[in-house]
Chain A
Amino acid sequence: MAVEVKIPTILRTYTDGAKSVPGEGENLAALLDDLDSRHAGLKGRLVTEDGALHRFVNVYVNDEDVRFTGSLETKLSDGDAVTILPAVAGGADAAQ
């Protein structure tokens, strides 16, 4: 399951500045293990010691928040786009 993972600016110290990196895994947990094998320390910034996603980190698979699709158990398929973003305050509208 080859996927592309977009890395936020704040975490690019783990990817030698790369904006996106390739990864593999049948689900998100396996993907993060795979990424951590090449970018040591990255997983520790995203997942807490008890194995949950960090409160202020949002991870999206094809634009959908994984907290509503099985969290770290979210299944991945070839060609999926995974995006990692810090949580930010909303803006003016409802998205406000």
Chain B
Amino acid sequence: MTRYDSLADAVGGTPLVGLPRLSPRWDSGSGQPAVRLWAKLEDRNPTGSIKDRAALAMVAAAEADGRLTPGCTILEPTSGNTGISLAMIAKLKGYGLVCVMPENTSTERRQLLEMFGARIVSSPAAGGSNQAVAVAKQLAAENPDWVMLYQYGNPANAQAHYDGTGPEILADLPGVTHFVAGLGTTGTLMGAGRFLREKVPGIQVIAAEPRYGELVYGLRNIDEGFVPELYDDTVLTSRFSVTSYDALRRTRDLVEQEGIFAGISTGAILHAALATADRALKAGQRADVVFVVCDGGWKYLSTGAYSGSLQQAAELLEGQLWA
């Protein structure tokens, strides 16, 4: 079924595609167990990222409980994709949207948000997403009629993946042994991870988080750190921190070897997926590793991620929030 009454109805139902070249052992014909990688192409959502799922679910939940009524303004701290998804849904449903984003996010994301009619409030680059969250909370207090959906703590974010992403993966690949996704709001991992752990005994749920340059961590105070309210570490079985260099390297591998043009955070996730697959290979175990392609590479072209040497590209990314 590929006909829909509206764009919002076209969210989800994304393809799962195999990676025969990047997989350590795609074919089990040798008598050795297969160790295969599968990409869940979330860039195929209407605005081009996995965030369409959370945005749609959070808006629907806020409408259902009466917080969001016609003409309302939505407020959200977002470094880009969630804002773009919310902007599309706000456009379809007639809401206003204010996004708080760190000033060091890519120019494409700003342009997209402005095109969709969102208002952007910039938060200082040095404060990163932590400060965008703080600024949004302050704006929410000053504007009580605005509705903050707050993706970091909104159960509907994780529920979208419990109801959608997780079941889709299991239906397409009942033999899935590992699920790897990015860790930001933690919604994808908490929702799909919980679903898969309930249905697939022994499944491994692996988080990949971006490790930024020093500029991004510079002013972080260890006593006032940030852990999203949605996060529950019992859902995960391991968690990798991936440098900009490794994320870029894998982003390029993905397009060069498999023809998948993905954003930089997907490279970080692939890096963790390959480390996981490599362990299974060494242990002589069959593995069907599903990883999430969060978005396409289009919004990151201006970062220089796709041209020049890896080292140059990694240096250009220093100080930018690339996930």
Contact = CB atoms under 8 A, between A and B. Distances in A.
Interface of A: 8-11, 45, 54-58, 60, 63-65, 67-69, 83, 85-96
Contacts of A95: 182-184, 208-210, 265, 268-269, 294, 323
Nearest to A83: B241
Contacts of B132: 89
A89 B228 contact: yes
Q: 4 tightest A-B contacts by CB?
A: A90-B184, A56-B225, A96-B184, A95-B182
A91 B222 contact: no
B12 interface: no
Given A9-B214, A93-B81, 5 more contacts: A86-B221, A91-B322, A95-B210, A96-B81, A96-B185
B239 A87 contact: no
B74 to A, nearest CB: 17
Most buried by B among A10, A88, A90, A92: A92
A93 B50 contact: yes
A64 B322 CA distance: 20
Most buried by B among A11, A86, A88, A94: A94
A10 B208 CA distance: 23
Contacts of A92: 49, 51, 78-82, 105, 109, 184, 265, 295, 321, 323
Most buried by A among B49, B81, B184: B184
Contacts of A57: 222, 225
18 contacts: A8-B220, A10-B218, A56-B226, A65-B241, A69-B238, A86-B220, A89-B226, A91-B129, A93-B51, A94-B189, A94-B265, A95-B183, A95-B184, A95-B265, A95-B294, A95-B323, A96-B82, A96-B182
A68 B269 contact: no
B240 A91 contact: no
A88 B220 contact: yes
A58 B227 CA distance: 11
B83 to A, nearest CB: 8
Contact of B295 (A69, A83, A86, A93): A93
B79 A91 contact: yes
B239 A93 contact: no
A87 B241 CA distance: 11
A60 B216 CA distance: 18
Contact of B238 (A10, A65, A89): A65
Nearest to B321: A91
Contact of A93 (B219, B221, B294): B294
A65 B240 contact: yes
B256 interface: no
A41 B78 CA distance: 36
Given A45-B222, A58-B241, A64-B239, A91 B184 contact: yes
B180 to A, nearest CB: 10
Contacts of B129: 88-91
Contacts of B220: 8-10, 86, 88
Contacts of B34: none
B292 interface: yes
